[in-house]
């Protein structure tokens, strides 16, 4: 039981003075996390750019379809006359 208390006291001391963040493993993990976040941010920005372009293409296609349908209805009405 004393070993557990001593281990907890040592861990608490490390947390209080910040030495828990100075190990090589923590620094390596932090660097890996930063790289992952950066890569995900770049992917999200690319996705957003592609999504905006797709929305613009969709809007153009919708306008063309509306124009086509309008022209088609005019042709039908003239042919019935």
List pLDDT tens digits, range 20-74.
Answer: 666 677 778 888 999 999 999 999 999 999 999 999 999 999 999 999 998 887 7
Q: How far apart, in whole angstroms, are the C-alpha atoms of residue 38 and residue 32?
A: 10
pLDDT at 27: 75
Q: Residue 76: pLDDT above 90? A: no
pLDDT at 65: 95
Q: How far apart, in whole angstroms, are the C-alpha atoms of residue 76 and residue 72?
A: 6
pLDDT at 75: 76
pLDDT at 18: 64
């Amino acid at each position: 039981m004393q070993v557990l208390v001593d281990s907890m006291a040592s861990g608490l001391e490390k947390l209080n003075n910040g030495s828990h963040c100075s190990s090589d493993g923590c620094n390596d993990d932090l660097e890996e996390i930063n790289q992952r976040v950066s890569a995900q941010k770049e992917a999200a920005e690319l996705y957003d750019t592609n999504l905006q372009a797709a929305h613009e293409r969709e809007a153009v296609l919708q306008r063309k379809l509306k124009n086509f349908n309008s022209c088609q209805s005019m042709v039908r009405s003239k042919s019935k006359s």
